[in-house]
Structure formats: structure tokens, C-alpha cells
Amino acid sequence: MYRAITHNVEVVVRPQFSPEQSNPEKSKYFWTYAIEITNHGSDTIQLRHRYWEITDGNGQRQDVRGPGVVGEQPILKPGDTFRYASGCPLTTPQGIMVGEYEMVDGRGSHFNVKIPAFSLDSPFEKRRLN
């Protein structure tokens, strides 16, 4: 589990390697990840955009930007938690993801919330410390 709190918004990430969707002989590796976003603040907020920086085991980086998450732009009242799941394919047996959500509060103020860096590790690769 990976966790970060920014501007009273908590983001928890739980990545998991998916052997059913992977094929190491063809350099295809896939991870799923579950994310929980909890509003610990006193204002209602909305997740507007996402930004991901995905780096594979060879150091190749891909930036992903887009509106919302999984087709939604959830609104979180104080104390609310939004949960979703998604996935990430790579051509290497390891990688790392990190990112940010752009949020807006009821007054129209925009702010960024950090998504903690999390490791993508498959059982087909011996773990290396970086």
C-alpha cells in the first residue's frame, strides 16, 4: 500500500501484478491498481483531471493526461471516499508510476493532489533496489 496526503486529500494506492493479463514470453506485463481518494477537508471538492508519469524498467517514460478518472469526475463532500480500479501495461517486468490529480473546490480554486509513487513489480524479475 502507498499513501500520500495533500491539501487534506488522502490518496491510497494498492497495485497488484496480473498474471492472467501478462505474457512474459512476449514481453507483456500488466498490473491492476486500486485507488481510494478521501476528502479529509471541510470543503466539497471535484476531481477534474489526472496526470500520470509511468516509467518502465528501461527508464522509458510515458506521460498520461486526461479528464477525470475511469470516465468520471467525482465530487467528494467532506469525509467522502471515491474508489476506482484501473491498470497499466508495460513491456518490462518492473516499473514505477507517480502522478497528480487536479481538484477544484466550491469556490473555483484549483489545486493539485499528489498520487504517491508506487512500484510495479512482477514475479518474473528479481527485485532490484534503485
Enumerate the domain spans of the chain: 2-121
| Residue 2: strand pairing partners | 13
Q: What is the CATH number of domain 2-121?
A: 2.60.40.1470
What pLDDT, on a 0 to 100 scale, did the predictor assign at position 88? 97
Band the pLDDT of 129: cuts 50, 70, 90.
low
Q: What's the rounded Cα separation, in Å, for the pair 103 and 78?
A: 14
What pLDDT, on a 0 to 100 scale, did the predictor assign at position 124? 72
Considering the chain, what percentage of its residues have pLDDT values greater than 70? 95
Dihedrals phi, psi of 19, to nearest 5 degrees: -65, -30
> Is-above-0.85 flag for pTM?
yes
Band the pLDDT of 33: cuts 50, 70, 90.
very high
No. of H helices and E strands in the chain?
A: 0, 9
* Mean pLDDT calculated for residue range 56-81: 97
Radius of gyration in angstroms for the set of CA atoms belonging to the chain, rounded to a whole number: 16
